[in-house]
Each structure stands twice: as C-alpha cells, then as structure tokens.
Amino acid sequence: MAHNIKWFDTIDSTNSEAFRQFSQSEDFSVFAAEFQTNGRGQKGTSWESESNRNLTFSILLKSNSIKAENQFLIAQIVTIGIKRYLKNLGIDAKIKWPNDIYVGDKKICGILIEHFLSGDTLSGSIIGIGLNLNQRVFNSDAPNPISVSLITGKEYDTKEQLESLAGFIHEIYFSYRNFSSGLSENRLDSEYYDSLYRLEEFHKYEITKDGRIIEARIMGIDSNACLVLEEEDGTKSRYHFKEVKYIL
C-alpha cells in the first residue's frame, strides 16, 4: 500500500513540519527525513540518528472520533504497530511503558506524541518516531541503544522499511479510528499488556518525587494509562508518566 509519505533530505524536526502542515494535510500523513537538525525526544531530550541510516519520521493523525479520555489508544496503536513490524523482521520487541520499544534491555525505538484537543475530543495527534535501523555505532550518552541491523546483521533500505512500518500502524489505526467512549472494550489492551517490558518481573524502580528505590513488578496499566506496580509486600501503586523511573 502506498502511503502519503513526504521525504526531506534535511529538516529541523519532522514533528515541527507536521505541525506546520497540519491544516492542509490529510489524516495519516507521514513526514520523513534522512536527517533532522533538531530531532526531539521526550521532555526536550534529543534523539541521535546518523544521516540516512535510520527511520526518523512523524505521523499526522486527524481523527475527530477519539475522545480525549481515550487518547492513550494512540500510543497503543503506534507501539503495537511497531512491535508487529519488528516481529515481521524476526525481532521480538517489548513495549517499555508508555511508548518506548525495547529489545532485551536495549532501546530500539523512541516515540514522542503530541495531542491536540477540541472540547472533549482529539482533533489531531502528531507522533514522532525514531527507529534505529542501520546505525551500528552510537556516540551520544544514550545508555542502551540497539538497532535492527545490529540484531540481524543486515542492511535495509530506509524508504522500503518506512513504507512497511507505516503499513502496520495504518492497518491498526484505521481499524480503531472510530473508537468511542461507548465501546466497552478496547481489544488492543490485551496485546499491549502482553507486550509490556518487565511484565510481572521484580525489578528496581525509582520514585522520582522523593528518590526512593523500590523493588516491584509491573501488573498492568489502569484506565488512566498509569503504570501499576506491586511491591514485594503486596502494596500496589499507580504512577503517571515521569513519576517513576526504570533502573536498568
């Protein structure tokens, strides 16, 4: 399937370009770059990517049928789409809540999602994705990067792989575009749960507000998309994004 993909040799940020072209773009427009001069990660961090070696792109969604309270559905659609794409390449990936993609204890993909609201409904979302495809050497202080090529030993055509990856996400998105608050069950919940990195395994976590270290296991995600951790004594707590830090 051919997707509406706009390629740039060099650009500041594909998320910024998607925002600039928001009004005149169609639902599920894709903006991709061989190199970003100002690629962004979560909370203003940068994303290291060697020119024309990886997949650095943004998807612009313009569904007006998803309620704001269900916005975590977008993260589920994208992360599961990427996981299925990697599975197709023979790679078993996990989702590190809320939306990083890991292989083992190494990060292969980072995602930045920006939502736009109109009343109680999403008017649009911009999803910035950086997936390590062919890069073999990482020079930044990122603690644990890995790439598809490092795992498989193969080289990949970036344009062909983006077409493939966009197809996996596109298929899920258009199946769920008409998701509404009246739907009693989100069928992606179980696949997302089963895909969680460190699911039901005891590991150390840092509680960011006070620096406390706990030993706990991930028991799932609650209805507010919070991470549910259970400590060894059975105490269960729920954490919003950035309230808890994985200790690797």
Domains of the chain: 5-192 (3.30.930.10), 199-246 (2.30.30.140)
Location of structure tokens 């954490």: 239
Determine the average pLDDT of the residues in 118-135. Answer: 94
pLDDT of residue 45: 47
Q: What is the pLDDT of residue 139?
A: 80
Is the pLDDT at 182 greater than 70? The verdict is no
**pLDDT of res. 176:** 80
Per the prediction, the chain carries an average pLDDT of 90
Tens digit of each residue's pLDDT (9 = 90 or more) over 14-72: 999 999 999 999 999 999 999 888 765 544 444 456 778 999 999 999 977 788 888 99
The whole-number pLDDT of residue 186 equals 67
pLDDT grade, residue 77 (50/70/90)? Answer: very high
Residue 6 contacts by C-beta under 8 Å, 6 or more apart in sequence?
17, 29, 30, 31, 32
Provide the pLDDT for residue 187.
Answer: 78
Work out the percent of the chain whose per-residue pLDDT is above 90: 77
Residue 141 pLDDT more than 80?
no
Query: What's the mean pLDDT in 98-127?
Result: 95
Residue 170 has pLDDT above 90, yes or no: yes
- Which residue, chain included where needed, has tokens 């620096």? 211
pLDDT of 82 over the 90 cut: yes
Least confident of 35-39, 162-166, 188-192: 35-39
- 130 pLDDT more than 60: yes
The mean pLDDT of 123-143, rounded to a whole number, is 90
What is the C-alpha separation between 245 and 102, in angstroms, rounded? 15
DSSP code per residue over the chain? ----EEEEEEES-HHHHHHHTTTTPPTTEEEEEEEESS-B-GGG-B----TTTSEEEEEEE--S-SBGGGTHHHHHHHHHHHHHHHHHTT---EEETTTEEEETTEEEEEEEEEEEEETTEEEEEEEEEEE--S-----SS-SSB--HHHHH-----HHHHHHHHHHHHHHHHHHHTT--TT-S--THHHHHHHTBTTBT-EEEEEETTTTEEEEEEEEEE-TTSPEEEEETTS-EEEE-TTSEEE--
In which band, very low, low, confident or very high, does the pLDDT at 100 lie, cut at 50, 70 and 90?
very high
Question: Quick one: pLDDT at residue 41?
Answer: 54
Instruction: Of 158, 156, 135, give the one whose Cα is nearest residue 146.
Output: 135
- Give the mean pLDDT of 101-116: 96
